[in-house]
Amino acid sequence: MKRLICYILAAMMASVCMLAACESGSGEQSSTESSIAYESGADSKVQSEEESIESVGESSIEEESEAESEAVSEEESNTESKEESDEESGEESENEIEYEGEVEPVNLLFARYTQSPHFVVIGTCTMGAKITAEYRGQKVTVDSYMGWFELTLKNTANDTFLDIVFTQKIDGKAISKPKTLKAKPSVPEYKGTRAIGSNGAFQFFLEQMVADYEGGNLFSDSAISTMTNRVAGRIEQLHGYNRDAEIIYMIVPSPMTTYPELVPDYYTKGGGKTRYEQVKEGLENAGATVIDLRETFNKHKHDEMPLYYHLDSHWADYGAYLAYVELFEHISKRYPDAKPRGIDEFTWTADFYTSADACLYLDIPQIKVKEYGYYREFDFKDPSNITSVPRYRGMQLIYNDLTTEEKYFNNNNPKLPSCMVFRDSYSAGIYDILAERMNKTHYIGMWNYAWQNWLIDSEKPDYVIYIIAEWNMPQVVYN
């Protein structure tokens, strides 16, 4: 009996050992399966991130090395368990948002400090949407432009990584759920001119525009008096060979002057007399003609075609065209054949073009952010191969180096006047249409403002024309 009991106890012990061994093996297998599942989840997350990168397009792919400076979607860091929980609870954006149009997600592409702690963010969104960004109590709403947006925020806590919540609406109704994006603003490495964001119209300014906007930078009375006397003497020289000859100044107002409502509120608009008014008065006292574009630009500032490029400091082809109309409305009073051509006599090609100097100054690859603009071309015969000098660099709307050189054009039309043009880079926008309305045009090399008596007496132009940006007025006063 005792032996039987011993056998039974031995068998029971063996069974317990086998069971323990099985459980141990099962535990190892479970651990292995758990590790595989985690790795699979990681692969899934990597794939999700790759798809997100592809959705941003070429811009994000080539910017991988700058990933820390750019936006990272919070949605991409969610775990599978949270996604499953959301699906089980039925919390899907499609069920909450009543919008039937095509929705593009908000993508934050670049974040750059403009004037620390202020920084500008640039991204893409649904066409026509209003974008609202919220960060640490700040709430900024801006209009998008052709599927792009830019807005300025303030890094109040000196955060390295910023969680910014974005929403987009059309006609006051949300078209997608709020989306949190992480950004790490960086300081542009470009050491020259600084670009400044706007109050949200996808319009950029340059720091050299600020002084005229804020005021307090008037020229001295003696400087204006000296300029007046100098210009009066030059007009007397012109009248020595032609009593009707004129010096015409076209001082192009800066985007800050035309769109003060878009200037960030950390700049304060000045009051009282401006340098523009000061210089205009001094020139007119000398007997010169000043084509004041401020009223015209204010009248047309909300037209479909922009006056200025959004991502460049220069006027756009439409703004240059409006200036051309003002100029030749004046000239045609004496030369009727120089009447400006109508807007329908040109071809206006709308497209996304490569951005220009604002992106350069923000250390953003210019090919990454597109400028939606209108390129103007003759819809009539070119009288003297003027268009052989390309105004821009292909699909990049920045002046071609050929436009900077000294150049002569002769249309062999004695019914039109002759001119000599002193200019800065704004002249590229009006380069072709100005020369087409003149008999002879002599473009002095860009940025060369030296008056040469012998050259004036030799060529005897009917008009000496200055085309200069507002912030370049010192070139008028001191040259």
Query: What would the pLDDT profile of 159-201 be if each residue is shown by its tens digit?
Result: 999 999 999 999 999 999 999 999 999 999 887 788 999 988 8
Higher pLDDT, 47 or 394: 394
Q: What is the DSSP code string of 133-154?
A: EEETTEEEEEE-BTTEEEEEEE
d(Cα 225, Cα 238) in Å, to the nearest integer?
20
Lowest mean pLDDT among 223-232, 360-369, 422-431: 360-369
Query: What would the pLDDT profile of 48-67 be if each residue is shown by its tens digit?
Result: 333 333 333 333 333 433 43
Query: What would the pLDDT profile of 313-324 be if each residue is shown by its tens digit?
Result: 999 999 999 999
pLDDT bracket for residue 32 (50, 70, 90):
very low
Pairing of strands 246-252, 463-469: parallel
Give the 3-state secondary structure of residue 472: helix
Helix orientation angle between 275-286 and 221-239, rounded to the nearest 10 degrees: 40
Of the candidates 305, 321, 201, the one whose C-alpha atom is nearest the C-alpha of residue 252 is 321
Instruction: Give the bridge partners for 372, in sequence order.
Output: 352
- Give yes or no for a contact between 171 and 129, defined as CB atoms under 8 angstroms apart: no
Q: Across residues 62-77, what is the average pLDDT?
A: 40
The domains found in the chain, sorted by start residue, are: 55-79+100-187 (2.60.40.10), 215-478 (no CATH)
Average model confidence (pLDDT) across the chain: 83
- Give yes or no for a contact between 466 and 323, defined as CB atoms under 8 angstroms apart: no
Stated pTM of the model: 0.80
d(Cα 246, Cα 467) in Å, to the nearest integer?
14
The sign of the torsion formed by the CA atoms of 401, 406, 412, 415 equals: positive
Q: What is the DSSP code string of 233-266?
A: HHHHHHHTT-TT-EEEEEEEPPHHHH-GGGS-TT
Q: Across residues 293-306, what is the average pLDDT?
A: 97
Q: Across residues 267-289, what is the average pLDDT?
A: 96
Query: What would the pLDDT profile of 12-24 be if each residue is shown by its tens digit?
Result: 444 433 433 434 3
Q: Which two tokens stand for residue 312?
A: 């460049």
Residue 233 half-sphere exposure toward CB, CA atoms < 13 A: 10
d(Cα 333, Cα 324) in Å, to the nearest integer?
14
* pLDDT score recorded for residue 99: 78
Query: What would the pLDDT profile of 106-138 be if each residue is shown by its tens digit?
Result: 999 999 999 889 999 999 999 999 999 999 999
Q: Which residues of 392-411 are buried (b: 16+ CB within 10 A; e: fewer)?
A: beeebbbbbeebbeebebeb
- Give yes or no for a contact between 152 and 198, defined as CB atoms under 8 angstroms apart: yes
Q: Across residues 282-309, what is the average pLDDT?
A: 97
* pLDDT score recorded for residue 354: 87
